[in-house]
Amino acid sequence: MLQGVRILDLGWVLAGPFAGQILAQLGADVIKIEPLEGDMARTIPPYFVDGESSFFLAVNRGKRSVAINLKHERGAAVLRDLVRRSDAVISNFTPAASARLGLDFASLTKLNPKICLGQLIGWHDEGAYADAPAFDLVIQAAGGVMSITGERDGEPVRVGYQIADLAGGLYLALGTLGALVHAARTGKGQQVQVSLFDCQLALLTWQAQNYLISGEIPQRNGSRHPMIAPSEVFAGSDGERFVISPTGEQFFRHFCEVIGHPEIAKDERFATAAARIEHVTELASTLRAIFSKRPAREWLELFEQKRIPAGPVNNVAQALHHPVAELRNMLETLVNPATGNSCQFVGNPFKWFGAPVLGYPPRLGEHTRSVLEEVCGYEPQVIDELVRCGAVGAAREP
C-alpha cells in the first residue's frame, strides 16, 4: 500500500522504531538512520541473537540501515541529501535535539517542500516539559493507566509491556500516514506531533469520560470490568484460570443456562446489568463455587460449543502458538543473511494483497553504501571518503 514511499526513520530504542516497522509492514521503504555506534536498542540485555538484542530485533524488521554521524558536517549533509529525496521523516528526539540536528519542520521544508515530519515527544514542546525525561514507566504513572491497573487493594501496577511507548509508536505511524495523504493531495508537506503523555490520556477513553461526567475517579479493579458483570478471571477445579464476559441480557441468560443454573438470571440481585454491577461481589462468589466443580478445560470446551464469550488466560508462549496465530501467519521464521542462522519473529498484523514479508532486521550500516548510491547518486569513491572521514559508517559484507 505504501510502495514507492520513502521514510527516514530516526527513531531509537522502542517508540520511534516501532512506528517505523509499522510503516514498513504497510509497504514503505523505511531507511533507519543510526549513529555510528548504532541504536542503543541493539545492546539491551539479556537476550541476543548473533550479537543483536531481541529488543532491537522486535521492532526493526523490513528496514535498511544507514549509519551517519550527524555531528559531522559531512554526515549532516548526507542526511540533508536523503531528506531531499524522501517523503517523510519520523523521530522520537526531544524538541531541542530535533532543532539542534536540523530536524525541525522549518529546516526540513527548506530542503524538501513536500516532506512530512512525524515527531514523537514525551510531554510538550515548550517550557519545562520540553526536555523532561519521558520514560515509559513515568508516562504510564503520570497518564493514569497505573492507577487503574492492579488488584483493588493492591499497589498500582504497570502494564506488562511498554504501553506508553508502543501506543506512542502506533499514533506516530497513524499521524505520519495522515501527513502523507495531505502532502499527496496538496503538494505541501505537513508536520504531525505526537506526545506520549497525550496518547495515554487518549487511551483512557471511557474511563476518562466516566470521570468527566460523574466526577468519580476510576479505581483499580483487578481483572474485573467496572461496567460489565460478570467479566473477570475465574478458575476451574484444577486451578487453571479463564475469563468470561457474557455481556448483555440475552448472553447472560444463555450463560446461566449453559452452566446449569438458569435460576441465577432470575435472581433479583442479578436480573439486570445494573443489579449485577451493584452485586458483583456476590455474583462472582456464586460463580466461583460453580466453576470449582470442573476443570477449566471442560468449562472452556462447553463455552466454545455454546458460543459463550470466554477464553483461557494464556501465557506468552501459549498465545504465540495459539491456532489462530498459525492461521494468521503471526509467527515467521527468517534467516539472518549475515550468519545463516534462523530466528522466529512476530508476523505482520496487516493483511492485504501483496503484503511484503519483512526482511531480517538490518546490521548496523548494512545499507549505507547501497542507499547512498541508489538514493543520493553518490559514486563509490565518494562513499569511501565519507567512511574514511567518519561522516558515515558502513558494515562489512558478510
Would you call 165 a catalytic residue per the annotation? yes
57 in a structural domain: yes
Neighbours of 47 (CB within 10 A): 10
In this structure, the answer to whether residues 284 and 193 fall within a common structural domain is no
Residue 333 backbone phi and psi in degrees, to 5: -105, 125
Q: Show the domain range for 245.
A: 232-320
Q: What is the pLDDT of residues 366-382, one digit of tens each?
A: 999 999 999 999 999 99
355 in a structural domain: yes
Q: Which of 174, 171, 191 is nearest to 183 (CA)?
A: 191
In this structure, the answer to whether residues 351 and 314 fall within a common structural domain is no
Number of domains in the chain: 2
- Tell me the C-alpha distance between 22 and 41, whole Å: 17
In this structure, the answer to whether residues 178 and 280 fall within a common structural domain is no
Q: What is the pLDDT of residues 75-84, one digit of tens each?
A: 999 999 999 9
362 in a structural domain: yes
In this structure, the answer to whether residues 293 and 343 fall within a common structural domain is no
Q: Which CATH number characterizes residue 96's domain?
A: 3.40.50.10540
Give the active site residue among 9, 87, 165, 198: 165
184 in a structural domain: yes
In this structure, the answer to whether residues 163 and 309 fall within a common structural domain is no
pLDDT reported for residue 396: 73
Q: What is the pLDDT of residues 229-256, one digit of tens each?
A: 999 999 999 999 999 999 888 999 999 9
pTM more than 0.85: yes
66 in a structural domain: yes
Whether the pLDDT of residue 398 is over 60: the answer is no
Whether the pLDDT of residue 39 is over 90: the answer is yes
In this structure, the answer to whether residues 56 and 186 fall within a common structural domain is yes
pLDDT reported for residue 354: 83
In this structure, the answer to whether residues 182 and 278 fall within a common structural domain is no
In this structure, the answer to whether residues 197 and 253 fall within a common structural domain is no
State the chain's mean pLDDT as an integer. 95
Among 255, 285, 320, give the residue marking a domain's end: 320
Among 293, 320, 347, give the residue marking a domain's end: 320
In the structure, what pLDDT confidence band is assigned to residue 355 with cuts at 50, 70 and 90?
confident
Q: What is the pLDDT of residues 175-213, one digit of tens each?
A: 999 999 999 999 999 999 999 999 999 999 999 999 999
| Spatial CB neighbours of 363, under 8 Å, sequence gap ≥ 6 | 52, 65, 338, 395, 398
In this structure, the answer to whether residues 352 and 308 fall within a common structural domain is no
Q: Which of 37, 140, 19, 167 is nearest to 91 (CA)?
A: 19
Among 265, 287, 320, give the residue marking a domain's end: 320
Which conformational region is residue 297 in: left (phi greater than 0), alpha (psi within -120 to 50 degrees), or beta? Answer: alpha
pLDDT reported for residue 397: 63
222 in a structural domain: no
In this structure, the answer to whether residues 272 and 354 fall within a common structural domain is no
In this structure, the answer to whether residues 282 and 345 fall within a common structural domain is no
Q: Which of 165, 192, 164 is nearest to 178 (CA)?
A: 192
223 in a structural domain: no
In this structure, the answer to whether residues 260 and 191 fall within a common structural domain is no
pLDDT reported for residue 62: 96
Q: What is the pLDDT of residues 123-158, one digit of tens each?
A: 999 998 998 889 999 999 999 999 999 999 999 999
372 in a structural domain: yes
Q: Which CATH number characterizes residue 250's domain?
A: 3.30.1540.10
Mean pLDDT within 32-41: 97
Q: Does residue 46 have a cis bond before it (omega within 30 degrees)?
A: yes
Residue 116 backbone phi and psi in degrees, to 5: -110, 145
